[in-house]
Structure 1
Amino acid sequence: MCYDKQKSSVLLEGVIHLNRLKHSSFIGILLVTIGATLWGVSGTVAQYLFHTKGINTEWLVTVRLLFSGLLLLLFGYLKEGKSVYRIWRTKKDAISLILFSILGMLAVQYTYFAAIEHGNAATATVLQYTAPVMITCFLIVRYRKLPSGIEITAVFVAVLGTFSLVTQGNINSLSISPLALFWGLLSAVSLAFYTLHPHKLLANWGSVIVVGWGMFVGGVVFSFIHTPWDFRGEASLTTILAILFIILFGTLVAFVFYLESLKYIGATKASILANFEPLSAALLAVLWLNVPFGVMEWIGTFCILGTVGLLSMVKKEKP
């Protein structure tokens, strides 16, 4: 009888633990899905501001970086206290942070918005998602190792997807402007640097502090190119609400939700589910802004997004 009670107790504990895991997994999936969707929607809202309201790209980049950076640092201060300032006390970390702020954060924000301005949010976001393939190619060359079959397949699928996206299958013509293609691929290069460079900073200081300072410093630097008070475009309630959405929901809320999701489902699952960003950008651009997106563009989109899933299957080597 005692044995039966112990067995029942163990089974009950197992069921409770399993339910907790399912609940945690659901929360993580929900958080990353919302965060990635907000990122995608903010790109489409930016396209609306550029093409409909005549907002200057450089001004929006400056304002987004400054205010989003300040809000993230405030969030970090509430969690970490005065430790948010300690990153500047080490010369090596300070130099690394400045490089990340300019060549990573500022570069990826400006090139992405420039790709939207000269094209559309859907194409710009999908092109930016070729970054994982660029990172894979860089690491293969950097560590002089032969690529695996999965990595070769991912590169091939990404090239095929990019070709389908920008040419609609016709090698003699581009379906987007050369500038949109240039800025879109440059945003992928910037995102690759943004991903690879700050790993030591992130390990030492955490993502909220590093990204918060990265945004703020990038915004301060870009203020010398376009000041935040030099507003150009249509000033209206709709414009203000769209800008606030990009800063608050498309940056702060999206970033915090993505970070929180990592606690529940881990980086691999989160990176795959982050594919909701280009999908939401594409769908909203088509449904709201009437961006033409044919069969070949969708094939190209799913090819590029498929590379994220392929690369997540590559076994990680021990450092």
Structure 2
Amino acid sequence: MTEKPNFWVGFACALAGALLWGFSGACIQFLAENYLIQSSFISFVRAATAAVLFLGFMLAARRESLLSLAHSKRAWSSLLLFGVGLYLSQITYAISVALTNAGTATVLQATCTVFVMLFTCLKLRRWPRPLDLLGLVCAMGAATLIATQGDWGVMVLPVAGLAWGIANALSETLYIMAPQRLYLHWDRFTVISCGMVISGVLAALVWACGGLWGDVPRVPAMDGFGWAALVLGVGVMGTFAAFGLFLYGVSVVGSVHGSLLGVAEPVGAMVIAAVWLHTAFSTADWTGLVLMAAMIVLVSISGARGEKASDKAPDKVQ
């Protein structure tokens, strides 16, 4: 008889995964501030490192599941879209961090929860629930506070930083929604492993072909600490370990608890950036973080109630 996983172990794993995502944001900010490094190169190393580790794990532990997905022609359209979304989320996040900071970029990224909710409502042809609308108001308030710092007539946050932050949220929405059908037939580890490989290949191509649009590819001159921050901090801990721990944790505690624990990502990014990189955050920034966390909680609770209502509803007669 298989022993049921401990809830608190799952809780700790999901929390650790979310915090490691926040840590990777601080590492990206450190690299952007201290080395002449391209966002495309960060994304390439990050995606390639995670792809190699995920692929190695899958070949060693879940080879049959991996081969099953790889040989499914029907799955490839969703898988390609997922891989593109993964890459876009990584490159837009790196650019957003470089233009703002890890905390601000991660808080803006969290608006993807609202986009997922809105696209889901459009797909199901229903109006947002009251808690969804309240969450939307919180998200809009958070983004406005961070962008204006409370002075409603002035845009303090760089326009480009805000634009790339929203682009990052939209790309996160793509990679969250694209593989939903795949999860019905394959486990998330398998799907994400294949998606990460596609993302790694795409990241390599974009970096190598950067000269076509004026971003000539180059390997930055970095010391050992810089390479450790990039490969270990961003690639291994901030991507491979973060995804692995969070996915395992969510599989134990459930998607609702997992979504709520995801609040730790922007909190972690802001705290680590403040302590390690001495990034100054204003009262408006911290208030925006609280509002964004409230948005995630509200939308998660609303989603949980919707799932319970649908479970109680009678099945449709075909």
Q: Which amino acid aligns with 1:289?
A: L
Question: CA offsets per residue over residues 2-58 of structure 1, 9 Å max, x none?
Answer: xxxxxxxxxxxxxxxxxx99x922212211121111110111101101111222110
- C-alpha distance in 2, partners of 1:144/1:162? 27
How many residue pairs get matched? Answer: 298
Q: Which amino acid aligns with 2:227?
A: I
Q: Give the aligned partner of residue 112 of structure 2.
A: 131
The answer to whether the 8 Å contact 1:124/1:184 transfers is: yes
1:265 matched to 2:253: yes
Q: Give the aligned partner of residue 9 of structure 1.
A: none
1:72 matched to 2:62: no
- C-alpha distance in 1, partners of 2:11/2:67? 33
- C-alpha distance in 2, partners of 1:66/1:146? 40
Please report the RMSD computed on the Cα atoms of aligned residues, expressed in angstroms: 2.0
The answer to whether the 8 Å contact 1:77/1:83 transfers is: no
Q: Give the aligned partner of residue 221 of structure 2.
A: 234
Q: Give the aligned partner of residue 6 of structure 1.
A: none
Distance 1:25 1:87, change over 3 A: closer
Runs of 4+ in 1 over 6 A off after TM superposition: none
1:203 matched to 2:160: no
The answer to whether the 8 Å contact 2:23/2:233 transfers is: no
Task: Compute the TM-score of the two structures, normalised by the length of structure 1.
Answer: 0.88
Q: Give the aligned partner of residue 179 of structure 1.
A: 160
Distance 1:146 1:99, change over 3 A: closer
Question: CA offsets per residue over residues 140-161 of structure 1, 9 Å max, x none?
Answer: 2232222221111111111111
Q: Which amino acid aligns with 2:175?
A: Y
Alignment counterpart, residue 279 of structure 2, candidates 278, 287, 291: 291
Instruction: Structure 1 unaligned segments of length 5 or more: list them.
Output: 1-19
What is the percent sequence identity of the aligned residues? 27
Instruction: Structure 2 unaligned segments of length 5 or more: list them.
Output: 210-215, 312-318
**Residue correspondence of structure 1 range 138-217 to structure 2 within 5 A:** 138-217=119-198
Query: Which one is further off, 217-226 or 81-90?
Result: 81-90
Alignment counterpart, residue 89 of structure 1, candidates 44, 48, 71: 71
- C-alpha distance in 1, partners of 2:263/2:75? 31
1:249 matched to 2:237: yes
- C-alpha distance in 2, partners of 1:75/1:57? 27
The answer to whether the 8 Å contact 2:102/2:270 transfers is: yes
- C-alpha distance in 2, partners of 1:192/1:225? 21
Distance 1:224 1:146, change over 3 A: closer
- C-alpha distance in 2, partners of 1:273/1:26? 12
